[in-house]
Amino acid sequence: MWLNSKRLSLNVLQTKCLFTGTRYKISLLPSEPYICLDGHLIERVNSYKCLGVQVDKTLSWEAHISEVVSKVAKVLAALRRLRPICPQSTLVTIYKSLILPHLDYCSAVWGCIRNGLSQKLQKLQNRAACIITGSGWDVRSVQILHALNWESLADRRAKQLKSLMVKTANNLVPEYLSDKFTSVNTVHRHNLWGAQHNLFIPRPNTEALQKSFSYRGAVTWNSPSVEAKQATTLNSFYSAIVS
């Protein structure tokens, strides 16, 4: 075993087993596939938290979003109680410190969520904006966000993915991320016009691949202009994509 060869030990009592796949393939598994380590049966779970992200068996991210909604809802309740006694600037600081990090954390991983889950998160931001501005429910959320100069959460996730791809292209991320991408010119024998800065996009034969970082990251990177792809800093990248 690899652990034994490295003279490492594993706490089998705290180890869990999680199978991931489509709902159909998961349904084909035995109800209790037995996996044992050192004579101990490893507990099978439907979801498990890894580095703050709740990973579920179908990679739908429903468990993670539910946890985020629960955490943010508690802070929103406190924010509502503070509104009569705090200036708007303080409420915005509380939002950016205690709510926004939950809505942004690791979005490059789970940002492929379906529209229904995306709307759940957006409603949280809309509710926070209403509380902070004291707006009534008859005011459109888009107007309130614009007044606060806030981007929608979907736009924030898109920008964060772009930021990560800039870092990836400039070797500012670990190799396990940069190794997921290949230049187009290393795949094709002939140079393609205008593609010298493009990444090869794998054919998404499955929905899982279409949601993967390697696919979404390459599509995101190939979308901006050549000037944006040549950017070496995030500020120069953002300047190029908005110009």
Encode pLDDT of 170-226 as tens digits.
788 888 888 888 887 666 555 544 455 788 887 877 777 888 888 898 888 888 665
Average predicted confidence (pLDDT) for the chain: 85
Question: Does the residue 145 lie in any domain?
Answer: yes
Average pLDDT over residues 116-145: 94
| CA dist., res. 67 & res. 73, Å (int) | 10
Helix 115-133 to helix 62-82 angle (10° resolution) is 10
- Classified as helix, coil or strand, 37 is strand
Residue at 158: amino acid letter:
A
Question: Does the residue 71 lie in any domain?
Answer: yes
Sequence-distant (≥ 6) Cβ neighbours of residue 106 within 8 angstroms: 51, 52, 53
Is residue 69 located within the same domain as residue 132? yes
Question: Does the residue 55 lie in any domain?
Answer: no
Tokens representing 40? Answer: 């101990």
pLDDT score, position 194: 47
* Residue 74 pLDDT class (50, 70, 90 cuts): very high
pLDDT score, position 39: 79
Tokens representing 129? Answer: 């904006």
For the entire predicted model, the pTM comes to: 0.83
| CA dist., res. 202 & res. 182, Å (int) | 10
* Residue 118 pLDDT class (50, 70, 90 cuts): very high
Question: Does the residue 56 lie in any domain?
Answer: no
Is residue 163 located within the same domain as residue 145? no
Exposed e or buried b per residue across 8-36, where buried means at least 16 C-beta atoms within 10 angstroms of its C-beta: eeeeeeeeeeeeeeeeeeeeeeeeeeeee
| CA dist., res. 71 & res. 120, Å (int) | 13
Is residue 38 located within the same domain as residue 71? no
**Which among 150, 180, 203 is the end of a domain?**
150
Host domain of residue 21 = 2-45
Lowest mean pLDDT segment, chosen from 62-71, 88-97, 165-174, 221-230: 221-230
**Which among 150, 171, 196 is the end of a domain?**
150
Number of domains present in the structure of the chain: 3
* Residue 81 pLDDT class (50, 70, 90 cuts): very high
